[in-house]
Chain A
Amino acid sequence: MFGREILGNKAGLPLRDDSAGRFLPWFVALMVYLAALALAGALIAAEAGRDWRQALTGALTVELPPAPAGAPKAATTEVERLLESLRAAPGVAAAELVGPDRMRALLAPWLGADAAVEDLPLPRLIEVALAAGAAPDLDLLRRQIADIAPEARLDDHGAWLGALLRTARGIEILALILVAVAGAAAIWTVVFTTRTRLETHRASIELLHLIGAQDSYIARQFQFQALLVGLAGGIGGLLPAALTVLLLGAVTGGADFGLLPEVALTWQGWAALACLAPAAALVAMATARLVVLRTLGKLP
């Protein structure tokens, strides 16, 4: 009922028609667009961090120098002994030598799919899969490996993973700061616009006050307009942002950037993005209400 009166400007204040708020939906849309892109970036970085952690934890790599050309049999025996020792170690679920096909696949982003990896002096790699939840004694494993192949090196990916996760976390934090800055800018603009409107409609507000309007009656008119503006701006910013994410995903979808994550959101990510429009509307509404109530509180 009250909403209809406000929409019809019958509740006392012609907020719908005043010029003070005319640019506000555009500004909110711009801020929501930027916030949505930043949030998408944060979500993609978080997802990439999870992927990296999943891929690299629970796995170890044993790296051996390239097989010496003059003693292939000794090299093969060394690898077989290593595999046997590793498979017997507690907490190890599987240990396999990386064959030429897998090596070719790993190097394809840099050397191309048809690289003759057999002819290259590449280190030999043993991929070790750990049992779920297992935390093997790495020092013991290193000693076992050194007993068989002193030149072999055990890599638990810790340094790598730490750097990657720090990078992902940094991107996440930066993106969330951008979301906060966009939100703060939108709030500041709503505050400024509401104050301008309060001044523009001062005489009408005083009249409503004098004929018995509660502060909340006047505030409802401002907050309802702010809600509509926030919703319009929210949707107006969200749709182009979603299109931008989809477009980036489509443009980069075919390319393989190695470790770089794919520009795509999970359904949870899309849901989080969709929440930006109602969030913008609710924040605009609450801000307008607070500003109006605070100002009206100074009247007798």
Chain B
Amino acid sequence: MVRFENVGMRYGTGPEVLRDVSFTVAPGAFAFLTGPSGAGKSSLLRLMYLAQRPSRGLISLFGTDIATAPRHSLPALRRRIGVVFQDFRLLDHLSALDNVALPLRIAGARESEVRSHVVDLLRWVGLGDQIDARPATLSGGQKQRVAIARAVIAKPALLLADEPTGNVDDAIALRLLYLFETLNKMGTTVVIATHSDGLVRRFRHSVIRIRDGETVFEPAGHADVAG
């Protein structure tokens, strides 16, 4: 599903923020990406959701070498990845429904199907009564659920979440993690970036630990992440 081999990354001509990163996430795996703030978690995620190309090394996503893939082939790969951004990145001028519908509209889904799918999903994440609400009127937790719904509406093969529990209290954080586990059980490969050791210990999934731009792998009883 995701394979990094000796990957290095730098922004512009700056120093390398990731060095010799190598790991594999198997299809259907659930992995935490953890490490202290500034360690490179977001940079690693940016490589995984194709916001950035590596400066060196090999990244293989769904069997495609990202470093050499032609630019026009990347949108189709991105549509197979759902991303929950740390700052949600909801579009303020759109309702919850239209925010969640974006990936379907981008994929060219028929408008008649879009609404029913989106409404069902918003109900599933507990926002059935906020379908027409604008992000500005939603609480942090509600925004987060809209962001999660947008990330999973197109049934991505890979779900990436950047600090999804950073802005919510412990109870909501636990509910979110159970939600991600449910999605994982439905076949989605999940990688969650978090700096919360408590969550990592509690859920006992595989761990990609990153420190000063380098990674260490902790299978934690699973064989689905390998260094």
Contacts and interface: CB of A to CB of B under 8 A. Distances in A.
Nearest to A214: B75
Given A1-B111, A12-B91, A212 B76 contact: yes
A17 B93 contact: yes
Contacts of B52: 300
B103 A211 contact: yes
A17 B92 CA distance: 13
Contacts of B111: 1, 5
Contacts of B76: 212
A11 interface: yes
A12 B100 CA distance: 11
Interface in A11-27: 11-12, 14, 17
B79 A211 contact: yes
A210 B91 contact: no
A14 to B, nearest CB: 4
Contact of B89 (A1, A207, A212): A207
B220 interface: no
**Could you tell me the dominant secondary structure of chain A's interface residues?**
loop
Nearest to A207: B89
Given A211-B79, A212-B79, A10 B74 contact: no
B83 A211 contact: yes
A160 B103 CA distance: 71
Contact of A9 (B49, B93, B103, B107): B93
Nearest to A201: B91
Interface string A1-43: 1000100011110100100000000000000000000000000
Interface in A192-217: 203-204, 206-214, 217
A41 B74 CA distance: 52
Contact of B51 (A9, A12, A210): A210
A211 B102 CA distance: 8
Interface of B: 49-53, 71-72, 74-76, 78-79, 81, 83, 89, 91, 93-94, 98, 101-103, 105-107, 111, 150, 154
Interface of A: 1, 5, 9-12, 14, 17, 203-204, 206-214, 217, 297, 300
